[in-house]
Amino acid sequence: MEFEPVKILYAFGAISIIFNIGLLIQGIVRKIGARVGKRYGIRFYQPYIDLIKNYSIRSSVTHGIMFYLGPVFRLTGGIGIYLFIPIIFGSEYFSNFSFSGDIVLVLYFIFFGTLGMALGAGEGGHPYSAIGISRGLAQVTAAEIPLIMAVLGVAIQYHTLSITEIVAAQQGGIQNWTMMTNPLITILGMIAILGSMMRSPFDVVMAPQEIPIGPPTEYHSSFLGVLQTNRSIFPMAKTVLFMNLFFGGATNWLVLILKVFLIYMWAVIVGVVFPRFRVEQSIRWFYKYALPLGIIAIIVTSMM
């Protein structure tokens, strides 16, 4: 217990590192997307400029308390995930606040931010808010099914709900990673992360090519800055989680950055190659392909 204050400092220091990694990856990914479309694209450090600009602006527009708590809930979900998963395996300080059964809490945090944004959007009073809410909740519900089944398969395989114990079971070489010992569950997990990251073809909530509204235009000034901060932390926290579940975790920061970047690029590559689904196509895809695969993966894992 005497090390708890120090662990808190290290945890927030780790959040700062991941936050900066997330901002840099955002800039690089947008640059890649532009080059694929034969455009020059933004400068890779543009997300820093946007963030500083938004935090320096104040708003006098009032939409209600819940509208402005939406971004706070969203950011809380991202930070909550990050604080309760081990970052560097074997490190006393960068293990964060992981505990036995922490994977259940992490799954709750993943859904927490989405519910917060839904409540915030409902408070805004925009005539199309209901469209965004229905899209978001339908998309997340469909994507959560393969995610939960993948996590359940990993828990069945390693007989534990502790992320730290799952990472410990994968030490000793790449042959011990879940990717090698249970490729079916890993495939299911990599399908689930496509919906969880909400990039194309599953970016049905934002639909930038269809409806020029949504959080980037409804939220502004420092509230948009909070959302941008979450966009840097939330995806990174989820990729660290998937790294721990399927790819052996990380024993140092260099390995963590490399694995997180590769997992993140999986969603980026798919998004660049495939155009955006319509809402019904997205939901149908998860129920038609991911759900049967999840059932087969669970049965196979149980029989292993």
Per-residue three-class SS string for the chain = CCCHHHHHHHHHHHHHHHHHHHHHHHHHHHHHHHHHCCCCCCCCCHHHHHHHHHHCCCCCCCCCHHHHHHHHHHHHHHHHHHHCCCCCCCCCCCCCCCCCCHHHHHHHHHHHHHHHHHHHHHHHCCCCHHHHHHHHHHHHHHHHHHHHHHHHHHHHHHCCCCHHHHHHHCCCCHHHCHHHHCHHHHHHHHHHHHHHHCCCCCCCCCCCCCCCCCHHHHCCHHHHHHHHHHHHHHHHHHHHHHHHHHCCCCCCHHHHHHHHHHHHHHHHHHHHHCCCCCHHHHHHHHHHHHHHHHHHHHHHHHHC
CA 24 to chain CA centroid, Å, is 16
Q: Do the beta carbons of residue 158 and residue 169 sit within 8 Å?
A: yes
Number of folded domains that form the chain: 1
pLDDT of residue 2: 43
pLDDT of residue 213: 53
Distance CA(194)–CA(189), nearest Å, equals: 9
pLDDT of residue 247: 93
Residue ranges of the chain with per-residue pLDDT less than 50? 1-3
pLDDT of residue 173: 86
Q: What are phi and psi of 65, to 5 degrees?
A: -65, -45
Domain that holds residue 85: 4-303
Residue 42 half-sphere exposure toward CB, CA atoms < 13 A: 16
